[in-house]
Amino acid sequence: MRISVIGGGYVGLVTAACFAELGHDVRIIEIDKRKAEQINAGKPPIYEDKLEGILKQSIGKRLSAQCNYDGINDSDLIFICVGTPPQDDGSADLRYILSAAESIGSALSGSDSFHVVTVKSTVPPGTTESVVVPAVLRKSGKFSGIIGFCMNPEFLREGKAIDDFMHPDRIVIGGQSDKAIDVVKNAYEKLDAPIITTSLKAAEMIKYTSNAFLATKISFSNEIGNICKRIGIDVYDVMKGIGYDHRINPYFLNAGLGFGGSCFPKDVMALIRLAERNGEEPILLRSVIDVNEHQPGRIVKILYERIGEIKGKKIAVLGLAFKDNTDDVRDSRSIPVIEELLQKEANISAYDPMATETMKKIFPDLSYHSSVGDALEGADACLVLTEWPEFSRLKDEFNRMKNPVVIEGRKILSGFGTEGVCW
């Protein structure tokens, strides 16, 4: 099948590389020339496990990237994978979606064959129908039926994106017609996963609901964790105890600093704004955000309780990325922690296996180190902020600290006899 993917970011590039791996001919349209060039050179502009390998296998053969929309009228299926960042009020900014839809419409104006335009970006319910369909039809000069429309939300996690794409729990396809839905189904025919077909709007809502539910599990665990901490119980034992109940399951119950990244905070806020605009009071969703916003401050409070005055103290910060296995620091919970430490005039000594360069763009003046040991040298305390597996193997490195006070914002250490381990 011939597929075009609009946007060569996390989702677009992974989607394109995986569809090429499945044997389709894929063209990426990426307006950022530098990114398109990197992709064509077989170098992913982002770090993602296994991505470079599969990109190199297909690039120049079944996969290519370009900066314009030329030739997309060859494609049976066109995926929109551009960003939907938050606006100042938290609602989703749809300008990239509109612009992509208009460009697709113009590019399809001369074509006589059937094409399916499919939104993969996370968009508020109603967007495909009210923004994408009219823009494509207006610019193409065609009527509905000549072009099909679908909404196929993406559930991949950064750091595990290739495996998530190739082995999804389910594939959701919202569509206007069976004919359009069948084209999207065919693209995925080599994958072994249940396919849920639904309306365009329901597919859009499934994506928001999925992220909001996972975020709710995390905030719930944090609230229970905060209570447990007061009364001297390890919340990880508690969550293990409930996670065996198959109605609950053991995933996304890790308490700590809360959720970061480019999606959970943004998508829960967008859902809150959607609810409000439709006359609903999203009481639970607001609490999910509230709990999350408070968690970073709690670790600094615990630090103060352990070492007293923070001013002038050397604080080692292990982990900057919003989660392990990525160089992405967007909305990382390490950012508010570092901001508060800087406000209290701490000397921060930072280490991350992968995210140092991205974090330097936000905090250029921190003292960054290329090894955990160097970051810990002479430190008055250490905060662990990302669940990097390599931190679970640390032991002797902590001997380089001035005081053995280690506070975990993510439960990853395996117990090494230091003081102050929290959560």
Q: What angle do CA 350, 265, 290 make, to 5 degrees?
A: 95
Binding flag, residue 8, ligand NAI (CB under 6 A): yes
Q: Determine, following the binding rule CB under 6 A, whether residue 162 of this chain makes contact with ligand NAI.
A: no
Q: Which is nearer to ligand UGA, 194 or 279 (CB)?
A: 194
Tell me whether residue 81 is one of the annotated catalytic residues: no
Q: Is 347 helix (H, G, I), strand (E, B) or coil?
A: strand
Task: List the single partner that 264 binds among ligand NAI, ligand UGA, none, CB under 5 to 8 Å by kind.
Answer: ligand UGA
Q: CB burial class (10 A; 0-12, 13-18, 19+) of residue 213? A: exposed
Q: Which is nearer to ligand UGA, 103 or 254 (CB)?
A: 254
Determine if 10 is a binding residue for ligand NAI (CB under 6 A). yes
Task: Show the binding pattern over residues 284-313: x = contacts ligand NAI (CB under 6 A), - = does not.
Answer: ------------------------------
Q: How far is CA 136 from CA 53, 123, 146, 334, 397, in A?
A: 35, 16, 11, 41, 58
Residue 44 binds ligand NAI, judged by CB under 6 A: no
- Torsions phi, psi for 90 (to 5 deg): 95, -15
Choose among ligand NAI, ligand UGA, none what residue 82 binds, the Cβ cut-off being 5 to 8 Å by kind. ligand NAI
Among positions 99-138, residues that touch ligand NAI (CB under 6 A) are 99-100, 103, 121-122
Q: What is the 3-state secondary structure (H, E, C) of 116-157?
A: EEEECCCCCCCHHHHHHHHHHHHHHCCCECCEEEEECCCCCC
Answer with the entry of ligand NAI, ligand UGA, none that 6 interacts with (C-beta below 5 to 8 A by kind): ligand NAI
User: Within 13 Å, how many C-alpha atoms sit on residue 381's CB side?
Assistant: 26
Q: Which of residues 258-277 bind ligand NAI (CB under 6 A)?
A: 262-263
**Residue 35 touches ligand NAI, criterion: CB under 6 A:** yes
261 binds ligand UGA (CB under 6 A): yes
3-state DSSP assignment of residue 69: coil
The tokens 């399916």 sit on which residue?
A: 116
Q: Find the part of the chain contacting ligand UGA (CB under 6 A) among 55-63, 248-256, 299-307, 415-423.
A: 248-256
Q: Does 42 bind ligand NAI (CB under 6 A)?
A: no
Residues catalogued as catalytic: 263
- Numbered residues of the known binding site for NAD(+): 35, 84, 122, 158, 266, 330
